[in-house]
Homo-oligomer: A and B are copies of this chain.
Amino acid sequence: MKDNSMQVPAYEDMLAAHERIKPHIRRTPVRTSDYLNELTGAELFFKCENFQEPGAFKVRGATNAVFGLDDEQAQKGVATHSSGNHASCLSYAAMLRGIPCNVVMPRTAPQAKKDTVRRYGGKITECEPSTTSREETFATVQAQTGGDFVHPYNDPRVIAGQGTCSKEFMEQTDGLDIVVAPIGGGGMISGTCLTLSTLAPETQIIAAEPEQADDAYRSFKAGHIIADDAPVTIADGLKVPLKELTWHFVSNHVSDILTASEQEIVDAMKITWKHLRIVMEPSSAVPLATILKNRDRFAGKRVGIIVTGGNVDLDTLPWIN
């Protein structure tokens, strides 16, 4: 297995990624709301990555990795460990190319997540819900299949793929003063930094994080990676820590990291469902939550928000008991 971890992707890699994945992903629409503009005093633009077929921006990075494989490697397929959107998006991309995808997932992962991976043809190997079990199981699966490891975010092909979102966003809006995106492992934020630091260096990049999983915020303030042990937040896509490649982008290009409480995240989620009329995950509501509580900082600005995903359990919405 080759080590992709510190091959920092370049702007040209993002451009190549966009050409590679364009036939397979959606150029998602940008939505606006007079109501939300009045509420925040800013001019808000929402890039709806929840409208990707598998419901998340992660299909960009996954598709770039899958379609970038040479034919020999492609025969052996791809492999990853994830219990979230990366697992389903990688399975989806592998299905589009017609190659195998092996996913190591804790046996405790929600049945709906397992069903989605299987619907896209992904093969699940279950492990115990611990880092040791996951690493051992993944090593076995990879040895057996030879699948190319596609990390959920600490992979230059994945970051280059996520960066294509901001390229479209700038084309669709004719420029933005600030782009706000949620931060978990940092894949989307890193892709945003990769693209905008060349394409629109004057545009500020702000990362939004749950207070209850604020490891990126504390890392940013401390100047080195701090990983949380087991953060608890409704924004379940944002629990993972930064890694060296995403830290590179965060530490060099992010203007600030803002945080929001659980209640503020749920409130922002409900407001967006009601007024933009889109279904989005709690993680995707963190940017608007931080904008609402830092009104002065955003008022009068053209602000882009990346709506990262729309895979939620419609039977248990956080504002309904």
Interface residues of A (CB under 8 A from B): 29, 31, 33-35, 50-51, 53, 55, 270, 273-274, 276-280, 310, 314-315, 317, 319-320
The listed residue (B270, B274, B279, B317) touching A278 by CB distance below 8 A is B279
Which of A274, A277, A279 counts the most B-chain CB atoms under 10 A from its CB? A277
**A53 in contact with B35 (CB, 8 Å):** yes
With A317-B314, A320-B315, A320-B317 in contact, do A277 and B279 touch (Cβ < 8 Å)?
yes
Cβ of A277 and Cβ of B33 under 8 Å apart? no
Q: Is the interface of A mostly helix, strand, loop or mixed?
A: loop
Residue of B whose beta carbon sits closest to that of A52: B277
- Residue on B nearest A315 in the bound complex, by CB: B320
Bound together, the chains give a CA A50 to CA B29 distance in angstroms of 14
Residue of chain B at shortest CB distance from A92: B34
In angstroms, how far is the closest chain B Cβ from the Cβ of A253? 30
Of the residues B34, B55, B270, contact of A277 by C-beta under 8 Å: B55
User: Known contacts A280-B277, A320-B317: does B51 contact A31 (CB below 8 Å)?
Assistant: yes
- Give complex CA distance A53, B279 in Å: 16
A274 touching B314 in the complex, CB below 8 Å, given contacts A29-B29, A279-B279, A320-B320: yes
Whether the Cβ atoms of A310 and B277 lie closer than 8 Å is yes
Interface pairs (18), CB distance under 8 Å:
A33-B53, A34-B53, A35-B53, A51-B276, A51-B277, A55-B277, A270-B314, A273-B279, A273-B314, A274-B279, A274-B314, A277-B310, A278-B278, A278-B279, A315-B319, A315-B320, A317-B317, A317-B320
With A31-B51, A274-B279 known, 18 other A-B pairs at CB within 8 A are: A29-B29, A33-B53, A35-B53, A51-B277, A55-B277, A270-B314, A273-B279, A273-B314, A277-B278, A277-B279, A277-B280, A278-B278, A278-B279, A279-B279, A314-B319, A315-B320, A317-B317, A317-B320
> Chain B residues with Cβ under 8 A from A31's Cβ?
51
Which 7 A/B pairs are nearest by Cβ-Cβ distance? A277-B310, A277-B279, A29-B29, A50-B277, A34-B53, A273-B279, A320-B320
Question: How many Å from the CB of A282 to the closest CB on chain B?
Answer: 14
A80, chain B: closest CB distance, angstroms: 22
Task: Return chain B residues, CB-CB under 8 Å to A317.
Answer: 314, 317, 320
Note all chain B residues with C-beta closer than 8 A to A34.
53
In the bound complex, what is the Cα–Cα distance between A279 and B279 (angstroms)? 6
Chain B residues with CB under 8 A of A53: 33-35
